[in-house]
Homo-oligomer: A and B are copies of this chain.
Amino acid sequence: MKASGNCFKVRLLLEHLGRTYRWVEVNSAAGETRTAGYLAKNPNGKVPLLELADGRTLAESNAILCYLAEGSKYLPSDRWQRAQALQWMFFEQYSHEPYIAVARFIMGWLPQDHPRRAELPRLRERGYQALDVMEKHLGANEFFVDGAYSIADMALYAYTHEAHLGGFELTTYPAVQSWLARVESQPGFVAHRY
């Protein structure tokens, strides 16, 4: 789904790796992840989904990143560094995406008078907590894992660079802003267009 940051993560890595792939648009907002055909491939009914040439499938954006990045410079081979990358990717899915991406969804995809707008104050509070954690780390580190650009940065970039669409103000997060620019200056970087 083009508009999904979780799907964008995968595209960003594939572009960095120069891998050939086919993008199959599946619009979850239109119910396309709930068809029998899609559920047969991903019983959890979510995008993105990686389908290999032999038909095997893999769900969960950050698991897909780990799988595709294996053996490349985007996933460290050192055991401790790998663990750090995973730490930040689990942080992203548990403490960041459910607030920052969901606020963007409510503001950008639901009508102005939708009852889910009542969730926004709590989403903002928790989303800013996640940004605080990122700011603290990035104040002392260029990237999330040992000073080198990795899939942990791609995972966190996906929704952070669109946090303003969920009503988040990044002016008091200078280290996050500098990091966004560093990510965007990486060789092979592609912007999220939809």
A79 CB contact (under 8 Å) in B62, B67, B86, B136: B67
* List of B residues within 8 angstroms of A84 by Cβ: 58, 63
Known: A60-B91, A91-B59, A93-B93. A66 touches B86 (CB 8 A): yes
A83 CB contact (under 8 Å) in B63, B98, B136: B63
Say what secondary structure dominates the interface of chain A.
helix
Query: Does A90 count as interface, using CB distance less than 8 angstroms?
Result: yes
- Taking a contact as CB atoms under 8 Å apart, the answer to whether B70 and A87 are in contact is no
* List of B residues within 8 angstroms of A90 by Cβ: 60-63, 89-90, 93
Q: How far is the CB of A67 from chain B (nearest CB, A)?
A: 4
- Taking a contact as CB atoms under 8 Å apart, the answer to whether A133 and B43 are in contact is yes
A43 CB contact (under 8 Å) in B63, B79, B137: B137
Please state the number of chain copies in the assembly: 2
A70 to B82, CA, bound (A): 11
A95 to B95, CA, bound (A): 13
Known: A79-B70, A98-B98. A62 touches B86 (CB 8 A): yes
Most buried by B among A64, A87, A93: A87
16 contacts between A and B (CB under 8 A): A43-B133, A44-B91, A56-B80, A58-B83, A58-B87, A59-B87, A59-B91, A61-B90, A63-B84, A63-B86, A63-B90, A67-B82, A67-B86, A90-B90, A94-B98, A98-B98
Q: List 12 extra interface pairs beyond A62-B86, A63-B87, CB under 8 A.
A: A43-B132, A44-B95, A58-B84, A59-B91, A60-B94, A63-B89, A63-B90, A66-B86, A67-B82, A70-B79, A90-B93, A93-B93
A→B interface (CB under 8 Å) = 43-44, 46, 56, 58-64, 66-67, 70, 79-80, 82-84, 86-87, 89-91, 93-95, 97-98, 132-133, 136-137
